[in-house]
Amino acid sequence: MKRIFDILLPIALGVTLLALWQWIVTVRQIPPYVLPAPGAIARAFADNFVSLMMSLLATLSVTVQAFLVALVAGVAIAILFSQSRLAERTLYPYAVILQVTPVVAIAPLILIWIGFERINAALVLIAALVAFFPILSNTTLGLKSADLNLMELMRLYGASRWQILWRLQLPTALPYLLGACRIAGGLALIGAVVAEFVAGSGTATGLAWRIIEAGNRLEIATMFAALGLLAFLGVAIFAILSALEYWLLRRWHESAISRQS
């Protein structure tokens, strides 16, 4: 019963707001270049369906590639940090600098260096830079959180540092890593949108570029349609990563228990 309400209430609110929106636009005769009615947005979505889907695919492709690059790089560097205090002390400040510098400001430089002829690589790198830091910092924390008694026990049984990494530190870090992935998935999408904005005309083909393009032509309904698709993409990425987290942790981690009982 509670679950049904959890699903029905937000939907009811959404439908009510859409109806209100449609009604206000119609009654007040608001022009479509200021605020299009939901019906007009739906029509724009249907009219541009194929090209919007192509744009969705382009943005999704950059987001997924960027997420994977950030995941591999973040975990690899976190493992390096866990194996060498020296590497961590030397490199961590630079990771922080990379994180606090707004990526929008670095993006033009990356585009020039990598070049517009390899636009996909440039977009992926920009988005990966946005998504990278939470994975690095959370995985580093997780690798350090291993049970010290278990570590001593493994040493007593002659474990090598790789056995300790594989059998103790990485499983300990898994919940931290999965939590970071949920954040990084959303950040990769934000990074992809920022990258498309910066890359601009003629090169980018994703949803963010469609928003700018439609804005320039005052096709506000198409803007809303593209915006809606971006929101949908963000929610889908979050839902998939949450499901993955639950599936991997459901047998043993505290965070998954309440959902089981």
Partner 1 sequence: MSLLTLRGVCKRFSSGTQALSDVNFQVNDGEFVSLLGPSGCGKSTALRLIAGLIAPDSGEISWSGARPELGFVFQEATLMPWADALTNARLPLDLKGVRRGEADAQAAAALARLGLKGFESAYPRELSGGMKMRVSIARALAARPKMLLMDEPFAALDEITRAGLNDDLLALAREDGITVIFVTHSVMESAYLSSRVLVLSPRPGRIKREIVLPRENPTGPRDRLSPEFAAAQARVAGALLESA
Per CB under 8 A, residues contacting partner 1 are 147, 149-150, 152-159, 163, 167-168, 171, 174, 251-254, 257
Nearer residue to partner 1 within complex by CB, 18 or 150: 150
Nearest by Cα to 233 from 225, 7, 36:
225
CB of 33 to partner 1, least distance (A): 56
Nearer residue to partner 1 within complex by CB, 30 or 79: 79
Amino acid sitting at position 39: G
Nearer residue to partner 1 within complex by CB, 149 or 201: 149
Nearer residue to partner 1 within complex by CB, 33 or 252: 252
Nearer residue to partner 1 within complex by CB, 114 or 151: 151
Nearer residue to partner 1 within complex by CB, 113 or 162: 162
CB of 28 to partner 1, least distance (A): 58
**Alpha helices of the chain — where are they, by DSSP H?**
2-28, 38-47, 49-83, 85-100, 103-114, 119-144, 148-156, 161-164, 170-199, 207-216, 220-249, 257-260
CB of 150 to partner 1, least distance (A): 5
Pair 78, 140: CB distance under 8 Å: yes
CB of 258 to partner 1, least distance (A): 12
Amino acid sitting at position 40: A
- For residue 206, what is the DSSP state? S
User: Which residues, 6+ apart, have CB-to-CB distance to 254 below 8 Å?
Assistant: none
Query: What spatial distance separates the first Cα and last Cα of the chain, rounded to whole Å?
Result: 16
CB of 164 to partner 1, least distance (A): 9
CA 239 from chain centre, in angstroms, equals 11
Pair 201, 153: CB distance under 8 Å: no
Collapsing DSSP to helix, strand or coil, 117 comes out as: helix
CB of 144 to partner 1, least distance (A): 17
CB of 252 to partner 1, least distance (A): 5
Nearer residue to partner 1 within complex by CB, 43 or 253: 253
Measured between alpha carbons, how far is 16 from 36 in angstroms, rounded to an integer?
17
Measured between alpha carbons, how far is 213 from 197 in angstroms, rounded to an integer?
10
